[in-house]
Amino acid sequence: MKKIAIFANSSIQDFEGIKKQISDSSLIIAADGGAKHVRSLSKVPDYVIGDLDSISKGDLDKLSDAGVPVIVYPHKKDQTDLELALNLAVEKGAEEILIFSAMGLRWDMTLANVMLLSLPILDGVGSVCIIDGKHEIRLLKGNATMEVAGTPGDTLSLIPAGGLAEGVGLKGLEYPLDNARIPFGSTWAVSNVFKEKRALISLEAGMLIVVHIRL
């Protein structure tokens, strides 16, 4: 499976954990200033993409000297650097995408980054996950199922996106569901708890933001 890691320009705390998570990645893409995080991991990105308004000149010079392809977009553009990086990952044949440093620095960007998971271009990618420390965020579109590996005691929350979520099923959790309907805006399915090592989520129609918080 071709795994591609993308680094955005927000903050990172658990560098050691990320090193393990990207150890088998086929490619690393730095979305503009995300290049500094790749450098902090003692890695060199395979691509840098964006309008280059947040990458330092020192990092850019080092990457250029190392022959890293830098894909430059104008500052006045219609997509964020992270969206451009996701498009590039799909173009490079990603079957799994891990997104790091995409949360918390600015709430407008944080919300936009989560909603990027709904991009139609990602529908053909097997797994797309935003990772922020112990938090993992995925999107499930109906009609489909998702299996999430965890540990008993982990937290799992389901948040409807874009409208009513219909035919929701949950197994392996403290509060199972069977053919449930979760209205858009509802917090009804927030803070469920793993009872087993795997949670199975099914959805007939709609979209669910799936938030897994590890112990």
- pLDDT single digits (tens) 29-71: 999 999 999 999 999 999 999 999 999 999 999 999 999 999 9
Residue 133: both structure tokens together: 């420390």
pLDDT single digits (tens) 157-192: 999 999 999 999 999 999 999 999 999 999 999 999
What is residue 126's three-state secondary structure? coil
- Write down the CATH number for the domain with range 140-213: 2.60.120.320
Q: How far is CA 70 from CA 3, 52, 98, 118, 205, in A?
A: 20, 9, 20, 26, 40
Total-model pTM: 0.96
**For residue 24, pLDDT beyond 90:** yes
Mean pLDDT over the full length of the chain: 96
The strand pairing partners of 210, in sequence order, are 138, 158
Give ranges for CATH 3.40.50.10240 in the chain.
3-133
Give ranges for CATH 2.60.120.320 in the chain.
140-213
The strand pairing partners of 127, in sequence order, are 96
The superfamily in CATH containing domain 3-133 is Thiamin pyrophosphokinase, catalytic domain (3.40.50.10240)
pLDDT single digits (tens) 190-211: 999 999 999 999 999 999 999 9
The band of 1, judged by pLDDT with boundaries at 50, 70 and 90, is confident
Q: How many residues appear in the chain?
A: 215
What is residue 75's three-state secondary structure? coil
- Phi/psi region, residue 52 (left: phi>0; alpha: psi -120 to 50; beta: rest), is left
Stated as kind and residue range, the H or E segment containing 77 is none
